[in-house]
A and B are shown apart, each in its own frame.
Chain A
Amino acid sequence: MSQPSRPKSPDDQTAMYIRVKRNKTTYFLQCVPSETVLQIKEKLEELIDQPVNDQRLILMPNREVLDDSKSLADQKVENDAVVALTLRKDDNEFEEVNIVRPNDFYQSREGDGGSNW
């Protein structure tokens, strides 16, 4: 039985989200499975002021580089997926994937207490 008060159209912007990570920053982006990777990059452009051509998105943890023209669904990007963002450097190459995890950070600070509450 469908509930009319809860719309379930495929355009529903709450359909899914992905977590785009670079260094210590995570961008939560709402999207739909039929969107292309290019559309995702256009959303990112608004947030980070980097043109789509200078962005590369890589699906974690298998490090598959995502294709601009294909949809998220086609490339098995699912709800809550983690996608690494890398940017083009001055020498025209893309930087390596760099996602800092809080655990790495704890290890590097080992011994200085570190309790938060």
Chain B
Amino acid sequence: MKKEDTVKLISAEGFEFVIDKKAAMVSQTIRNMLTSPGSFAETEHGEVTFPEINTTILEKICQYFYWSLQYASGKETEFHIEPELTLELMMAANYLHT
């Protein structure tokens, strides 16, 4: 895995999650940022900051991206969501088109 193939997602509290671009592109919003021709600053540095998404939720979202890739390649497991995260996670998912 090369650095160029990863993207860094930064939470409201400044925690960083380095994930595969392929995984990040599960999110339509991030995919647009990374692939649109009008070069976002995000695309050039491979960093996206989400000031509205807290760390716990952002980590859960990254886990979801990877779970989603596994699921697409045939591994049928459940994705566990703690009840107390549900609302914020849905709001973030809506924003990310995930």
Contact = CB atoms under 8 A, between A and B. Distances in A.
A7 B72 CA distance: 10
Interface residues of B, number: 32
Nearest to B87: A117
Interface residues of A, number: 26
Contacts of A46: 1-3
B74 A43 contact: no
Interface of B: 1-3, 6, 11-20, 23, 52-56, 59, 62-63, 66, 69-70, 72-75, 88, 91
Interface of A: 3, 6-8, 12, 14-17, 24-30, 43, 46-47, 79-80, 100, 102, 105, 116-117
23 contacts: A3-B74, A6-B72, A6-B73, A14-B72, A16-B70, A24-B14, A24-B16, A25-B17, A26-B62, A28-B23, A28-B62, A28-B66, A47-B1, A47-B6, A79-B70, A100-B15, A102-B11, A102-B15, A102-B54, A116-B53, A116-B54, A117-B52, A117-B88
